Amino acid sequence: MDDLDQREAFLLAIFTNPDDDLPRLVFADWLDENGEAAWAELIRVQCMCARTSPADLSDLERLTLRQVQTHNGVGVASRGFLKTDVLHCPTDLLADPVEFRRRAILQNPEWYGCVELKAEGRMIASSKPINTILNSPVTQRVTKLDLSGALIEVEREGGDGLLSEFEYHPIVSFQAVEALVSARECRRFTHLDLRNNDLDNDAARAILRSNYLTRLESLQLGWGQLRGRTWNALREKFGEEVVS
């Protein structure tokens, strides 16, 4: 097992049992043995402080905590890791699963604990980034998937001067949506946001055909062109309280 594999094994153990300090402390020992004593000390001190009332910390322990956090440049860490629930990820990085995993292990280990992924950047037009989202060890805790595009206000010349219009900046194509909802791994998703992607009834029908979106609590579409039977079928399948 190489260094990356070992690190990832520790991270998976830590975020599989996020309330248990033991995997973090074992990781701290490994970090010490591999030349990362400052991070190891941050984990140990913050784990100790999490179990101790602030009033019970000695002046030396409080000073040590401040020094360790300052040394690591981490002021919002929790028991050694940055606190975040949302993985903001460029779509170009999702298209390279090897580099995505490497980035998470070496630069953003907190990604392993994220429950929501927000894709950003260029449009996902193929199944490769979708496969990364579904199958990477980094994203196995993700249950909320935000693939919403942007609705941008632009000004254009008109007969009466400048006119404001809105245009879509989509993040996901129909082909990518179809790849997503036809995969067994999408069963874990409870929230799916597809707004502002200029999708149409073909995407809606792909969602309707899916046998795996069984745990959805929120399906956000926002497609003004959805009307009639297709819209009613979505609401009938998933429930009026889910589809919006």
132-158, pLDDT tens digit by residue? 999 999 999 999 999 999 877 766 666
Q: Distance between CA 170 and CA 149 in Å, rounded?
A: 4
CA angle, 69 then 74 then 76, to 5°: 105
Phi first, then psi, for residue 119 (nearest 5°) are -85, 140
Look at residue 121 and tell me whether its pLDDT is greater than 50.
Answer: yes
Report the range of poorest mean pLDDT among 53-57, 152-156, 187-191, 231-235: 53-57
pLDDT at 82: 87
Residues in the chain: 244
pLDDT at 29: 97
- Greatest Cα pair distance, the chain, in angstroms, is 73
What rounded mean pLDDT belongs to the chain? Answer: 87
Task: Residue 45: name the closest of 62, 31, 70, 29 by CA.
Answer: 62
Q: Distance between CA 170 and CA 206 in Å, rounded?
A: 18
Q: Report the amino acid identity of residue 154.
A: V
Within the chain, which residue ranges are assigned CATH 3.80.10? 86-238
pLDDT at 53: 62
Express each pLDDT in 221-244 by its tens digit: 876 656 678 888 999 999 999 998
Look at residue 71 and tell me whether its pLDDT is greater than 50.
Answer: no
User: Using CA atoms in the order 83, 144, 16, 210, what is the torsion angle rounded to 10 degrees?
Assistant: -170
Q: Distance between CA 98 and CA 147 in Å, rounded?
A: 21
Look at residue 172 and tell me whether its pLDDT is greater than 70.
Answer: yes
Q: Distance between CA 134 and CA 3 in Å, rounded?
A: 24
The helix or strand, by DSSP H or E, that contains position 3, with its residue range, turns out to be helix 3-16
Task: Residue 230: name the closest of 217, 242, 243, 218 by CA.
Answer: 243
Average pLDDT over residues 57-82: 61
Look at residue 90 and tell me whether its pLDDT is greater than 90.
Answer: yes
Tell me if 173 sits within 8 A of 124, measured CB to CB. Answer: yes
Q: Distance between CA 219 and CA 235 in Å, rounded?
A: 10
Q: Distance between CA 163 and CA 154 in Å, rounded?
A: 8
Task: Residue 162: name the closest of 173, 170, 154 by CA.
Answer: 154
Strands 77-78 and 81-82 come out as antiparallel
What fold characterizes domain 86-238? 3.80.10
Q: Report the amino acid identity of residue 222.
A: G
